Structure 1
């Protein structure tokens, strides 16, 4: 018989297909929803979720206080808001946060899930349902080599390199902790692949005040975490481009693109980048 996750289980893993079905009617007219008191509450919860994503020290508890429907809606709204902002680093922070959150709830499932039922081996039915939906084939602590190689490609830990693994008859051996870690990585990759959404302009305009607050918090967080941007610490090639720009040299398109991309990736905001180009 097919395993059907409860509302509580879906609220802990709101990216699952079954979690999205209950909120589709809510989002059918998102513009109207945002203008209601309930919409403001959901947006506030979504903003809190994004703030948590950009905070280095996470605070997670096994229980989720909001209703399952509100929790899932806040998850969806958070993805819409970061899509409106369309900042690569912020999107990466949110998707990593969601993957880590799912990992936490899976590892600690026996603490919060009164419906916990052990399924295949040491793993619950819920873990199996999530792995099936994400197309992760692991049985008896073994995983097909092609699946394993695809899954670990973004990981840089040497222990995941195939040359360091135990491979027998086309299967890679993985332990219990690694199963959870590989599932977390698959969640992160899939959630990142789907962003940014194509959000209607009028929706982004309604969410603009919240987006502005998030950008401000994120920039402040980046400043606390990495300090002020110091040009003297830039790579020589970037320093040369800035020197040329300050001297009034007309940089090539490739030069402007490289410099802008570099400054954006180290956390400089649009205003700071514009001021730099104003030297020219």
Structure 2
């Protein structure tokens, strides 16, 4: 098992590393330990904070094995939109990691053995022969491959009619290619979920599932206000909106502000106007967080926001959730 496998557990090579090590998942979950603990953290953070990034350092083995454990936990949870939320969080972390790896390689900076290369990721999705660099940060993508990768993506920019075509290929920018690969990761993670879990594994993970259900109960009970009124935003959201406008927002801050804005039912045009996103940098994540069919992410609570450094202490009174403050301000303004 290599650190590269732990950083990108969805790769074919990562799955093969687990198989080569002859690891039995049933034994892993029955024995418990770091892999199960990290699996629980992976799912809880995915469904509460929109990320699966570790909060502390784990061994390569625990990090890699936590991925199949997390997939089992997601399958056992009776939580609306759990699969979509989990897959989106895994894809978001993968995107952050591989863009850093690819950009370092592009800038000819030294990269470590655990860095992923663009050719290797393309090959992992069997599209290496259909993507060719043509200079100036642009790529030609075979039209069939492009349609497959872009099919789940919303927005006019991804429609074939809006793209430049040449000899059966579609021209995309480097960032657009990265976005297509992020979607490919999300679909691979979601593929096959929820799993059919054997009783022996389900029974062994019953305490962890109960722990997750308790942790997620406050998030699941948060309703949408379905009204967009920036003047009623809580102080923490006002600050995060300003940070987004200045492009100085943290990962947790971006998640918090986008999930909050999604809960108001605002269109992306309204969101872009508020956060100053003329280039629509946040559209993909917003659309995934807004979700469909019950898969919408709920904004983090005040306690989570405070732990992440995104809260405005003592500015909101006794409210426990930004939406509760927002609803209060909306009613006060009626």
Secondary structure of 1:226's counterpart equals coil
Note the 1:175-254 alignment, pairs <5 A.
175-224=173-222, 226=224
Check the 8 A contact 1:26/1:33 in 2, yes or no: no
- C-alpha distance in 2, partners of 1:213/1:194? 24
Structure 1 residues 79 and 56: alpha-carbon distance in aligned structure 2, compared to 1, 3 A threshold = same
Residue 130 (1) aligns with residue 121 (2): yes
Structure 2 portions without partners, runs of 5+: 134-138, 227-291, 298-334
| 1:43 matched residue in structure 2 | 36
More helix by share: 1
Contact residue 140 and residue 171 of structure 2 kept, 8 A? yes
Residue 43 of structure 1 and its aligned partner are, at CA, apart by 1.1
Flag the structure with larger Rg: 1
* Contact map agreement 2:84 2:295 (CA 8 A) in 1: no
What is the SS of the residue equivalent to 1:35? helix
1:53 and 1:178 map into 2 onto residues whose CA distance is 24
Could you say which residue in structure 1 is the equivalent of 2:85?
Answer: 93
CA offset digits 1:28-75 (Å, max 9, x no partner): 2x3333333xx23221110101111112464858x9822222111011
Q: For this pair of structures, how many residues does the alignment match?
A: 218
Please tell me whether the aligned partners of residues 22 and 69 of structure 1 are also in contact (alpha carbons under 8 angstroms).
no
The 1:185/1:213 distance shift into structure 2, 3 A limit, reads: same
Contact 1:12 1:64 in 2 (8 A): no
Deviation, 1:182, is: 0.4
Question: Normalization by structure 2: what TM-score?
Answer: 0.58
**CA RMSD between the two structures:** 3.1
Hey, what does 1:174 align to over in structure 2?
172
Task: Trace 1:55-204 onto structure 2 (pairs within 5 A).
Answer: 55-56=48-49, 58=51, 60=53, 65-85=57-77, 87=79, 89-109=81-101, 110=104, 113-115=111-113, 126-136=117-127, 137-140=130-133, 141-204=139-202
